[in-house]
Each structure stands twice: as structure tokens, then as C-alpha cells.
Structure 1
């Protein structure tokens, strides 16, 4: 009996020591987590400042590009009609053009360095966030074990069930990421990769045409090749925008939409996109802005691809607590009684509208174009500024 008593005391000592060590470890992990949170907050402030600098640099770059274009036109005129201008005016035109070119180059370099810094901060923030998550997870796991050693098993069962649900949720996220990677891979394979392969083949054909049939036919083939390269570039830019518009976080929804629609108009020859924005613009949570951008992007893409539209009107109206978006085109239109839900990306658009707690109305008829109307409530919890 005495030996049994000694064994119990020894086990009790070991047990208490183990609990103390684990409790101390939990405190140490918690301190690491808090220090990481402080670093995360400081880095977030720095990132916000860098984004403001990027926005300023982009605005300045747009201004300098416009001024450089004008100075080049001025220089071309002076060079062409140099007899009409004095030596001072000619020299001044050259100096102004050169100065603007230098300033533009410096500005672009500064913007590039700021973007590199922003990307670096984003990566470091993700690493810190991962550290915080792991620390919180370890604290949770250690707490679960301590509770297991000090409380009833039924409480531990509930904690483990919560952990199991979190693990399953994480697996679903990983699966979604893999599905997205497959989609991007498929888009690149079916789009730019195929187009570039065709460019390689056509370039060989142009060489052969030039050698056998002369420069005129080769020039025609070269014109077709140019259009093919233009299409490949458009597809690459579309994929980049599908991933995430780079300027959205920096500039906001409206400036990013202007840039996007201008780019689409540039690469869709013959198409005109009329953009109108009325009311006081606001900034929202990133997910909300991305969703609104995707709705406009999908609508415009459908108007061009399926509707074969030449004129598209995009209007955004800001009210006190409502955002109205109208996308109208003069394309082919479609019979709403016959169209299926999978047509024109309706499924994805309706899912986004449901997530945004808004409404979507589509009006269309064959030969009379299509009008899509989105009505989105501006809830206080999504407004950031």
C-alpha cells in the first residue's frame, strides 16, 4: 500500500509539472502573437502610406504622359517647320520635351519602386498574419490539452469538434484555390498560349510569303499577325484583370473602371464605351469593390462578345444609401423567354448580387440590345471612407 501511495504522489508531481510547463508555453506563444500583431499594425500603417504615394505617382504619371505627348507634338511641329521659329523657340521646344521625358522616367521608376515596396509589405503582412494564425492555433491547441487535463472529457470533445470543423473548412479553401489555379491555367492555355503558338507559325509563313510572293502579300500577312498579337495581349490583360485589377486598392472603384473601360475600348476596335459617374463616390471594403467591378466587367464583356455591340453605356449613380449601375448596349439582344440561366454569365452575376444583398434586372429583346440594372444597398459596415 505504501508503494502504491508513492506512485500516486509521483504521478501527481509529474502531472502538475507538465501542466505548469504547458501553461508557461502557452503564455510564451501568446507573447509572440501579441508582438506579431503590433508589427502587423505598424506595417499596415506603412502600407497605407505607400498606397497613398502610389496613387499620387499614378496621377502624376498620367499628367506627365499627357504633357509629354503634347511636347512631342510641339517638337514635331517645330522640327517640321523650323524656318518659322527662332533658334530660341527651337531650343526651348527641345529642352521642354527632354525635361518632361526625364521627369516621366523618374516618375515611372518611383512608381515601380513603390509597387515593389507595396508587394514586399503585402508579402511580409501575409507572413506575419500566418505567424499570428499559427500562434493562435497553438494557444488554442495547448489550451485544449490543458482543459483536457483539468476538466471533464465532454468539454474536450466539444473543443476537438470545433477544431475538426476548422480543419474541414481549411481543406475546402485549399480545394477552391486549386480549382482557381486550374481555371487560370486553362485560360492561359486556351488563350494567349494558343495565340502565341499561332504567331510563331504565322511568322514562318510570312518569311516564306516574302521570299516566294514578294513584300505586298507578306505585308498583308503581317497585318493579320499584328491583329493576332493584339488579341493575345488583350487576352493576357483580361486574365490579369480577372485575377485582380492592380489599381483597385490604390485608386478605388471609379478610377479603376475608367482605366479598364479605356483599355477595353482601345483593344476592341470600332467599339465605343460611354462612361458616366454621378454623385459622391465612396470607398468600400475590398471584397465589395471587387464584386462591383466584376459585375460591370462581366456585363461589358457579354455586350462585346455575345451582343457584338458597338456602343456601350455604363452609368453609375451614387445616392445616399443606394448605388445604381446601368449597363446598356445596342447589340443583338436576346429572347428572355428562351435564354437559359447559364447564358451570359448570369449564374455568377446573380451569386455576386446575392452576396451584396442587391437586385439585378435585365431587359433585352432580339435586335434591340440589352440593358442590365443593378441596385446595391450601401450598408455602413462596408463603407471605409
Structure 2
């Protein structure tokens, strides 16, 4: 009877834990949808509307414009459309699957960094020395890297991104550095959902993170996650 009672308690506890996990996942999805809708409204939608209004105004007054005036207006439209395109790249990069599917972490990072190089003016340096890690570590580090890259594209105005991925005997290190404009870290900790999300993922992995930045001096993120070795395949 005592054993049966204990099993029932354990079963109830597991069910409650699973229900909490499902509810938490659903809430995360809702938050992401709201964030994406807000970003689309605040950036791309307004930029496209402004471009449309400018082009409409140009078409109506085309005959009365000097060549220099027309060129200035078209350059302004081009700049706005370029910003809208960049904002869409950020969102599409952020919406990539959070899991690596059949890729390793090394391969997944190479994929998104290659896309970053192809679709932006940011120069990328990628140094790696790593094997296959436990899936939970790989998926979380992949998502962390996506978050950092999204922030670099959206806010940093950087021209260079450095990524270092290294496996050591008892831990894996992910270091990412950009040369962007940086920010006030104390303010960002309160306002940035992305930074909070990164910290929570690092905490879930029992890792440590050093985050350094200041206005005008870029951003440096250095994460260390412990690796527990198993008896059969060398990793748990």
C-alpha cells in the first residue's frame, strides 16, 4: 500500500510537471507571436507604408521636380526599403527551427553564418574545434547563437562578427563578438527579452555567461557549459 501510494504520488507529480511544461511552451509560442506581430508593425509595415507614400508623392509631382530633387527623393526611398529588407532578414533568421534536425551544432552554426554572409554586409570569422555534443546542449547553444545574431543584425550596426566554438575536456565554450555600437547593459537587462532568454537557456544548462558591452564598443558574449561524460558513448 505504501509503495502504491508513492507510485501514485510520483505519477501525479510527473503529470503536473508535464502539464506545466506544455503550458509554458504554449505561453512561449504566444509571446513569440506577439513579438513578431509587434516587430512587423513597428518596423517593416511602417517602412513599406512610408516608401509607398513617398513614391506616390513623387509620381504626382514628377513633372515639377528637378533632377537633383528626384535623385534625393529616390535615394531616401531606397534607404527605407533597404532597412525594411534588413528587418525582414532578422525576422526570418530568428524564425528558423530551434532544433538542428540532422545537423550538428557546428554544421548548424556554419549554415546560419553562411546565410548571414550572403545576405548582409557583415564579415564573419568562425573558429571551431568540436565534436557532437548532447542534443539538449546543441539545441540551446544553437538558439542562443541565433538570438545573438538577430540582435547584431537588428541593433548593432556592426560590420564584423566573430564566433568561437570550442569543446574542452569537461565543457564547451561559445564565444561571440561583434564590433557594433554596443549598449547600456544595465538598461538592456530590464528591457531586452532576447538577453533574458539567453540567460535562461544558459541557466538551464547549468552554464555560466560573461556578457560585456558599452556604448560604442560592441558586444562580447562568452558562454561555458559543462559536459557530463557517460560510460558508453562518452557523453550523456
Aligned 8 A contact 1:333 1:366 in 2: yes
Offset from partner CA, 1:226-245 (integer Å, 9 cap, x none):
3254135314313313x525
Of residues 165, 174, 177, the one that matches 2:25 is 177
- Could you tell me which residue of structure 1 aligns to residue 88 of structure 2? 233
- Could you tell me which residue of structure 2 aligns to residue 251 of structure 1? 103
Unaligned runs of 5+ in 1: 1-151
Unaligned runs of 5+ in 2: none
In 2, distance between residues paired with 1:335 and 1:206? 37
Of residues 374, 379, 382, the one that matches 2:223 is 374
Offset from partner CA, 1:312-348 (integer Å, 9 cap, x none):
2112223344323322233344677x56744665543
In 1, distance between residues paired with 2:85 and 2:53? 18
- Could you say which structure has the larger radius of gyration? 1
Q: How does 1:1-385 map to 2 (within 5 A)?
A: 157-192=5-40, 195-196=44-45, 198-199=47-48, 202-203=51-52, 205-213=54-62, 216=70, 219-220=74-75, 222-224=77-79, 226-241=81-96, 243-244=97-98, 248-269=100-121, 271-277=122-128, 279=129, 281-333=130-182, 341-342=189-190, 345-381=194-230
Task: Give the 3 Å change call, closer, same or farther, for CA 170–309 of structure 1 in structure 2.
Answer: same
Offset from partner CA, 1:145-174 (integer Å, 9 cap, x none):
xxxxxxx5x665444433432332233123
Higher strand share: 2
Q: Please report the RMSD computed on the Cα atoms of aligned residues, expressed in angstroms.
A: 3.6
Aligned 8 A contact 1:334 1:366 in 2: yes
Normalised TM-score (structure 1): 0.48
Aligned 8 A contact 2:172 2:225 in 1: yes
Structure 1 stretch displaced more, 260-269 or 195-204: 195-204
Higher relative contact order (CA 8 A, sep 6+): 2
Normalised TM-score (structure 2): 0.73
Aligned 8 A contact 1:324 1:376 in 2: yes
Cα offset for 1:179? Answer: 0.8
How many residues get paired?
A: 226
